[in-house]
Structure 1
Amino acid sequence: MPTQPTPRSHALTAMAAMRKFFQAPVLNSGLLWVLSDEDPLRQCRGCGEICELLRWGEVQRRRESTFQGSSPPRTIHSNFLELDHCASKTGCDTCRTLRRAFLLEQITRHDAERLRHADNQWPICAVLNLSSSGDCDLALTIKSPKAILFSATVHLSNDARPIGQTPKEAPSGPRSNLNSLRRVVDGCHRHHECSSRYRWSCRNPTWLLKILPNNRVQLIAGPPEAVDYVVLSYSWGNPATMPAAQWARIKGAGTKTINGQPVPERLNPFPVWDLPETMQDAIEISASLGVFYIWIDNVCIPKGTNWDMEASLMHEVYGNSVFTLVASSSTKATDRLLYDRQAWTQRGKACPLRDMWWLRNIPMPLDRVRFESPVSLRAWTLQEERLSPRIVYWAGQRWYWSCLECQVVEMGEFDWVSPVADTTPRSCPQRFLELCRSGDEDLLHEEWLDIVEAYTRRDLVAPRDRFLAIAGLAVRFYNAKAGNGGTVITEDYLAGLWKDNFARHLAWSVASAVEPRENLRRTAPSWSWASLPLQVQTRTKAPFKPSEHFKFIAVRHVEPADADTVLARTNTGDPSTDFINRGRAVEERGRGVKVVEVQGRFRRFVSEDALEISWDSIERKRDGRPGFDFGAFPGRSLYARNEVNGSILSKDAHSGEVVGQLDYLTPTDEKPTHQYTPYVQVGDEKEIVCLELGELAMLLLVPDHSQGWPESYQRVGVAIGYANRKGFFYGCETRNVHLT
């Protein structure tokens, strides 16, 4: 009779069988399971590579407890499709965490789909980052030979459950958890002061969409009593990159009029599917949250409406809403908001490695959603965001909530909920509204300059709307300055700039000179950033100390000619109405300002006897920073121009240099240019004159002979921060000049 196996031999037999099972290839996957020494969970080879990184980190920490640095990279999977297969077919919890990390970094649905595209299947690399505080994270990248295509971050914790988790909350699923969003919205309404502090008035928009049962809606005039409504902020899309039929459908969603009134087809109930998909889903979201009115610009501003007046009311439309729904996940108005989100189609669980490390997905920062989503490239959406006290950002895989008192991110399995802020952070979308309320003039002007930087990089379907797309912000800014009870109001709106800090506002610059023939000089004067082409990166925040010699004199020309009568229309006899109307009138008049007279120290930028030299002959790199070497030209006045980025240098014989930035490049072809094209031709550099704005800031100007004003000049650039030549204007005459 054979000897009975001992318990030890039972265990050895079982372990051998398990080892054989785990080492068998997974059918059609290209993966090989291994039995990990770190944890009894099944783990793939990628998990083993991560464990090697963790071992490396543990060794560094044993040597030095405050060690900070990054590990060598390790390849953990051949591509995303392999990672996706491992996560879905084999149930590897580590791979599910990594897969979700990549998906959560994608702002739009299209971005998430790109992860699976055949052209994007490249190795996934991981690097362990250790900080001196003891925190660590896993930086993941998908790299092609040319560039990093995708990146993601997974946090590593020694705690099984992070402090910020709320176990009572149901985890996210493929469809958004609207119940949890409704609790957030209701909680803000009940417990925060957002509505009482920042609601502009009790007035509703001129037109609203009323949400009816059975998937129907109806355009109605704004009721006389205040009602709760949602505002949709979205991107129409680029007509050049979409099928003509889609653009026609988006444009066709606009409300037509007969004799100034919306057509009956809109005044009577109509099905929601008559509207593009983004609007359909926004209507469903609003109704699911218990709000049965919604404002959508294309539908609620009927064709033929006084567009100028409606644009100047945007601070009311957005300021009075329950919240603004920002369609961050949409690239165009025919994209869906409601769909199965890939990050949540697979259930996950807390994932331990090496008995001490837990992998955690972390929310994408709200600022990335704000500044990198397609909607952030549309000019109109800037004021829609900055004028909204409460905002829901609808991203590709989760929603975010932002109000003055808190920011919340939709919670998923084993994820954090962002903490409630005790104070308004600097990056808060509602900072502009908060400063308007507090009335801090210096910070308010700085915020306007931030708005300019964010606005100039955006696109417009109709460039003629350059001023209209920020009209609501201008009205709100003016009313913040004028609403302090003073009887003498000096502030004035001047083509996108503000009079009370005019020198500071004039000191904007372009990051690099741009094509001159795309400028908007017919819309705005040369000294206004609004005259630049669309989608230009500007800089407005350089340190600035105003010159005691600079003075704003007066506005000398406004178009249309009867613009001064705009202000006269505000005197209705009702102080509250006059106050609101005056802000709108100041903005309307400000759009037409073309010529201003200013006073300041004035001189040539380039000396008459200066020698023209090439930029390459003097540019030198010093400690990795750009610098200059004038050793080959002792005792000579010089000037040079960089034809690549528009930098221009002037140096008097025995003084330091001044480097300016021209707004426009010189055209490289022979095509004719119109009279408004404000660039300096090669050989005309000695015509440039300069006007002091601040202690280290000047405007670069050339004579404007097309205007009938004496001493007329148009802007061609700016110079800021010329520390090597602080005395550039010493002893120069002070002159009155007209800027055109």
Structure 2
Amino acid sequence: MLCDVCHDTIQRAIRRWNGVRKSPGQKSYDPQQPHHRSLKSFYASLFTDCHICNLFCARLSPWARNLILTRLATRSALGYEGAKLGKGDYVPLCTEIELLPREWNEDESKRQPKNFWLDVRLDEDHMNFQFKVEDPKAEAIEARFILDGESMRLAGKGIINTKSLEVLSLARKWMSDCTNNHEKCCSISLETTWCPTRLLDLEPDALSPDSIRLIETGKTIPNGRYMTLSHCWGKVNHLTLTKATYNSLRDGISVFRLRQLFQDAIYTVRSLGCRYLWIDALCIFQDKDDLSDWRREAPCMQDVYANSLCNISALDAPDGFHSFFHTRDPKSIFPQIVRVPTDNECGNETERDSFILHDHDIWRREVSEAILHTRAWVVQERILAPRILHLGTQQILWECAEKNSSEMYPDGLPSCIPSESPKSLITTTVGEITAAYHSWCDIVETYTKCNLTFPGDKLIACAGLAKKIGRLLKDDYIAGLWRDSLEFHLLWTVATTDFSNLRDIGDITRPAEYRAPSWSWASLDGPISLQSDLKGDLLATVEQVSINYVTEDKYGAIRSAELHLKGVLKLIQIMEPYFPQSSSIGLTWRMHIWTGASNEEPDLHVRFKLDVMQSDFREENLNCSLFIMPIAKQSSMTTSGRTVIIRCLMLQVHDRVEGIYRRIGVASLNVNENNQAKLEDVLQQTDRETKIGFPCVEQRDGKYSIKII
């Protein structure tokens, strides 16, 4: 339902829009409409179960919600229309609604009044500003809806609990429709005979109907397909497969000995008519003193999910002791219907237009931002599984290659609701080389935003996706990069919006325990941008790559690696920041490039990103241990004319005698194309540089060969 304020505001906004649309020559339309004018009004709407106001409240940060619903609520009830924050700033307590047509057309006759954006936000000039005073990280507080005049089939009646057989029967219908009718999904063979090494057999025993047992598929051939489970492990100990528990699991145990989440998964799989289930914790040995089984099984992980019938996704259970079934208000899964009076030519109200109020962010909030999808392992589980049943806090949802659905929209989400699946990140067509490279860059960006319980799994947890891309590229996999594009991909960066973006110290870290060379993005913890659109003329060449793997799997863990790179070296100094009080990376640091010329200009226009934040570089500058090596260049038109952009690796000497370096970041130099002298200073070794000599493996033809580890 909607509160009176929301309903009246929407009606008023649409009627104003209709008035503009029907008036020849009139184009003026104010999209912003007053909404709740006081906290008392907003607070009261929450108790009427207003769909819009409650979703808007859910968008508030915990700090903001506490401010509104507790500390300020009392004052508003006493008659105050505003309240003072700790810093003495007076805050007007008001919200506004903005209503705009989703398809605006300057031609009045073609304007469609049946489809609108509806944004609800705090007053931008007041409330939002004050929140950011108290919480600098606070983002714009806004809830977005869509008013859709098109008809569609919506959910029937709501069920109070997602464990209901009626709810799961919908999931069974989705799966049947997918396996029988979806062309994209049916291209995956349903007759596959591949099975994981072990499975849980869920067929009830006649004597123990609540029992399950672990089977070795090499000895006991499964009679049917299997499903998988994606879940959060949590930090609490629980029953897992170990040498000590193997016999009891093989002989059969009661499901009630398992943690609640596993019980829920078993109930769900049985309800969907499937007999077998694969759960990592119960199908791979978890002995901490013997990782041999895990090392054998980890390289097969992509096959486990890719060959499953369906993956069960426990979206918001933080650990195994939480259920992924939830009790909810049945009304919460119904889209709201808004009816707006329509005036006839005489100005009399004759009928009402009906609009469906869609929650624009429902898929993002329920699925994409779920706790489960902060786990790095789940990225490949979600992409590789042919179909997924998501168990959310408010409803169950379906995801496959052809359709995304939910209880609210059982026939598929409307196109106006963004529900992009990471399955779209990966191309499946052999020969689409460029698309495959782009896919890998997108996967790395998504993957590195997620967390790993064991940081050493960085390369292992995405190995399945890498193998899939590798089959398309027919290229050698090099510690998270690809050989044919290696020079360009060495220029990956930490994922900030631009070179001058301010970031807190510690956002990006390099773990103490080795897992990848410094030239690989896998050596860092934190979001990475592996740019797919880099191009231009190469200025350096990878001569050789040597990698020592932990196992025989070249997509797996690395023990050591080194890369031989040949190019021009330039000694640099990184100077004090312009604003030393800021913990920043980028333009606030100054870089001086030493070319050895007697009349050197003080600084080029240099932008750079460090891989890991560092407080100062005095020791490195004193020891002359910082260098850049130009990797690629390209021309670009700017306001000052044609500019040559030179992209470089930033390096620090690790071993002067052996000519070994470590990567510390990337730099971008802009030089006017007409300034040939400066271009030559940067792109060539000067006589003075050659005479002095820099740490290297070999110096030949005006270039240095170095090792990077």
Both structures adopt the same fold (TM-score exceeding 0.5): yes
Q: Give the secondary structure class of the aligned counterpart of 1:212.
A: coil
Hey, what does 1:307 align to over in structure 2?
294
Which protein has the bigger strand share? Answer: 2
**1:385 maps to 2:393:** no
Match of 2:478 in 1: 494
SS of the equivalent of 2:652 reads strand
Contact kept, 8 Å, 1:155 with 1:359, in 2: the verdict is: no
Q: What does the per-residue CA deviation read over 1:430-451, in whole Å, with 9 as the maximum and x for residues that have no partner?
A: 2355x24434222212211222
**1:466 alignment partner in structure 2:** 458
Amino acid of the structure 2 residue aligned with 1:220: I
Q: How is 1:326-725 mapped onto 2 (pairs within 5 angstroms)?
A: 326-342=313-329, 344=331, 350-355=337-342, 356-363=352-359, 364=361, 366-411=363-408, 417-418=412-413, 427-433=420-426, 435-482=427-474, 491-510=475-494, 511=496, 512=503, 515=506, 518-520=510-512, 522-532=514-524, 534=525, 536-541=526-531, 543-559=533-549, 566=552, 585-588=553-556, 591-599=558-566, 601-606=567-572, 612=575, 614-616=577-579, 644-647=584-587, 648-650=589-591, 653-654=600-601, 656-666=604-614, 681=619, 683-684=621-622, 687-695=625-633, 696-705=646-655, 710-720=658-668, 722=670
- Candidates 199, 205, 210, aligned match of 1:208: 199
- Measured in 2, the distance between the counterparts of 1:739 and 1:42 equals 62
CA shift for structure 1 position 321: 0.6
Please report how far the alpha carbon of residue 101 of structure 1 lies from its aligned counterpart in structure 2 after TM superposition. Answer: 5.0
Report the CA distance between 1:184 and its aligned residue: 1.4
Tell me if the contact between 1:188 and 1:194 (Cα under 8 Å) persists in the aligned partners. no
Q: After superposition, what is the alpha-carbon deviation per residue over 1:101-139, rounded to whole angstroms, capped at 9, x for unaligned?
A: 559989xxx99x999975797978341321325432332
Task: Give 1:715 shift.
Answer: 0.2
Work out whether residues 174 and 345 of structure 1, in 8 Å CA contact, stay in contact via their aligned partners in 2. no
SS at match of 2:663: strand
Deviations 1:567-608 (A, max 9, x none): xxxxxxxxxxxxxxxxxx3224x7335112122x3221537x
Which has the larger displacement, 512-521 or 297-306? 512-521
Secondary structure of the equivalent of 2:398?
strand
The Cα offsets for residues 17-66 of structure 1, whole Å up to 9 and x where unpaired, read as xxxxxxxxxxxxxxxxxxxxxxxx99745534444444554455456676
In structure 1, the residue matched to 2:499 is: none
Distance in 1 separating the partners of 2:230 and 2:161:
21
The alignment's TM-score, normalised by the length of structure 1, stands at 0.70
Residue of structure 1 equivalent to 2:697: none
The one-letter code matched in structure 2 to 1:553 is E
User: How far apart, in 2, do the equivalents of 1:686 and 1:735 lie?
Assistant: 17
Q: Which amino acid aligns with 1:443?
A: A
CA distance in structure 2 between the aligned counterparts of 1:85 and 1:292, rounded to whole angstroms: 45
Query: In 2, distance between residues paired with 1:509 and 1:335?
Result: 38
Segments of structure 2 that go 5 or more residues without pairing to the other structure are: 77-92, 106-111, 132-137, 343-351, 497-502, 594-599, 634-645, 686-701
Aligned partners of 2:576 and 2:335: how far apart in 1?
A: 65
TM normalised by structure 2 equals 0.73
Give the conservation status (yes or no) of the 8 Å contact 2:212–2:253.
yes
- The answer to whether 1:253 aligns with 2:219 is no
Greater RCO, CA 8 A, separation 6+:
1
Match of 1:275 in 2: 258
Displacement of 1:714: 0.6
CA contact 2:199–2:283 (8 Å) conserved in 1: yes
SS at match of 2:537: coil
- Return the alpha-carbon distance in structure 2 between the equivalents of residues 730 and 530 of structure 1: 29
Instruction: Supply the distance in 2 between the matched residues of 1:233 and 1:114 (Cα, whole angstroms).
Output: 33
Does the C-alpha gap of structure 1 residues 79 and 257 become closer, same or farther in structure 2, counting only changes over 3 Å?
farther
Identity of aligned residues (%): 21
| Residues 104 and 397 in structure 1, CA contact (< 8 A), matched pair in contact too | no
- Is the alpha carbon distance of 1:641 and 1:454 closer, same or farther for their aligned partners in structure 2, counting shifts above 3 Å? farther
Give RMSD over aligned pairs.
Answer: 4.1
1:671-723 alpha-carbon deviations (Å, 9 max, x no partner): xxxxxxxx8856459532122322242211011118x7x32111010124746
Which amino acid in the other structure matches residue 366 of structure 1?
Answer: W
Amino acid at match of 2:441: L
Distance 1:279 1:68 in 2: 55
Distance 1:458 1:226 in 2: 36
Give, in whole Å, the separation in 2 of the partners of 1:313 and 1:331: 26
Q: Which amino acid aligns with 1:275?
A: L
What is the SS of the residue equivalent to 2:228? Answer: strand
**Other-structure match for 1:738:** 707
Deviation at 1:234, TM superposition (A): 1.6
Aligned partners of 1:377, 1:713: CA distance in 2, in Å?
33
Q: Which has the larger displacement, 41-50 or 171-180?
A: 41-50
Deviations 1:327-375 (A, max 9, x none): 2232333222212223636988734133445352325353554531111
CA contact (8 A) 1:402 1:408 kept: yes
The amino acid that maps onto 2:35 is R
1:8 is matched with which residue? none
Contact 2:605 2:669 in 1 (8 A): no
- How is 1:211-230 mapped onto 2 (pairs within 5 angstroms)? 211-213=202-204, 214-222=209-217, 223-224=220-221, 227-230=224-227
Output the amino acid matched with 2:98.
L
Structure 1, unaligned runs of 5 or more: 1-40, 88-94, 240-246, 483-490, 567-584, 617-639, 669-678
- Between the aligned partners of 1:179 and 1:323, the Cα distance in structure 2 is 15
8 Å contact kept, 2:36–2:42 = no
State the shift of 1:517 in Å. Answer: 6.9
1:127 to 97, 100, 104: 97
Partner of 1:47: 7
Q: What is the number of residues matched between the two proteins?
A: 592
The separation in 2 between residues aligned to 1:683 and 1:336, in whole angstroms, is 56
Secondary structure, in 3 states, of the residue corresponding to 1:587?
Answer: coil
